[in-house]
Amino acid sequence: MENKKVLLTIENNVGIVTLNRPEAGNGIDLQLSKELLDTAIICSENEDIRSVIITGAGNKFSVGGDLKSFSSEGEEISAHLKMVTAYLHGAVSHFARMNKPFIGAVNGVAAGAGMSLALSCDLVYAAESSKFVMAYNKIGLTPDGSGSYFLPRVVGMKRALELMYTNRMLNAKEAEEWGIVNQVLPEEELMPAVINLAENLAKGPMNAFGATKKLFYHSMQETLESQMAIETEFLADRANSAEGKEGISAFLGKREARFLD
């Protein structure tokens, strides 16, 4: 892949996506958003990839939208932002809806759309130096990159509005306490730990992971009874799938399931 602003490496069935504008804090401009969509589609479709990590080059995850590049568009800024977000939102949708686990390795500041991108991950692990801030309202803007969807679901409406209105910055430990981050790790341990997790998940029942994710997303808009009806359909389908048959056989045979064969 010839992309320069987003890198993708694949090893042991893990795709590592790296936002690669360290000189600009991995800020999201039009080209990066385009490349991110390309990469998300590859991660979603490539059968050699069974789990995905996203991180940032250098010492920042992403400072969010590249305001300097946006401002340079002058009176065309609205049209330009619609193009940027079209690619960015397409990327988030592919990452969030693929069957493969999507893991954030936040290695520094995650601001604005960078924080939104982290929120869209299934699991988030952060270095001790990481900081999280929505940043939008401070400069008269509103969230993009799925922030308005995931933030209130993760932290609750009142805390979400507090983060937006006050521009409060959370350190890594606070983000963990608020449920934004699964675990905080020393900088030098972050990527080895996340890669180890991703490799283990890559050996797991990828389609069951995807179905579980879909169930959880559906639960936000269903009644108790309708959600349980969906659970029944998914469970019956999974039990009759190759993954389900292998999992049940392994359990009854008191052995480890082999989902990667």
Residues 106 and 228 reside in one and the same domain: no
Q: Tell me whether residue 259 is in a domain.
A: no
Q: What is the CATH number of the domain that holds 243?
A: 1.10.12
pTM value is: 0.95
Residues 11 and 120 reside in one and the same domain: yes
Alpha carbons 163 and 50: distance in angstroms, whole number: 34
Residue 1 clears pLDDT 60, i.e. is over it:
no
Alpha carbons 86 and 43: distance in angstroms, whole number: 18
Residues 148 and 186 reside in one and the same domain: yes
Q: What is the CATH number of the domain that holds 89?
A: 3.90.226.10
The pairing of strands 123-127 and 14-19 is unpaired
Residue 175 near residue 126 (C-beta atoms within 8 A)? yes
Average pLDDT, the chain: 96
Structure tokens at 183: 């675990």
Residues 117 and 193 reside in one and the same domain: yes
Q: Tell me whether residue 258 is in a domain.
A: no
Residues 148 and 25 reside in one and the same domain: yes
Q: Identify the helix (H) or strand (E) that includes residue 94.
A: helix 77-97
Alpha carbons 3 and 36: distance in angstroms, whole number: 9
Q: Tell me whether residue 257 is in a domain.
A: no
**Based on the number of CB atoms within 10 Å of its own CB, is 139 exposed (0-12), middle (13-18) or buried (19 or more)?**
exposed
What percentage of the chain has pLDDT greater than the value 70?
98
Residue 95 clears pLDDT 70, i.e. is over it:
yes
pLDDT in the model for residue 233: 95
Residues, the chain? 261
Mean pLDDT value of segment 101-109? 97
Q: What total number of domains does the chain contain?
A: 2
Q: Under 8 Å CB-to-CB from 99, ≥6 apart: which residues?
A: 206, 207, 209, 210, 211, 213
Structure tokens at 7: 């890198």
Render pLDDT for 30-61 as a digit per residue (tens, 0 to 9): 999 999 999 999 999 999 999 999 999 999 99
Written as one string, the DSSP assignment of 28-71 is B-HHHHHHHHHHHHHHHH-TT--EEEEEESTT-SB--B-HHHHH
Residues 166 and 230 reside in one and the same domain: no
Q: Tell me whether residue 261 is in a domain.
A: no
Its domain, for residue 22, covers 6-202
Residues 26 and 95 reside in one and the same domain: yes
Place of tokens 């959880």: 216
DSSP state of 168: P
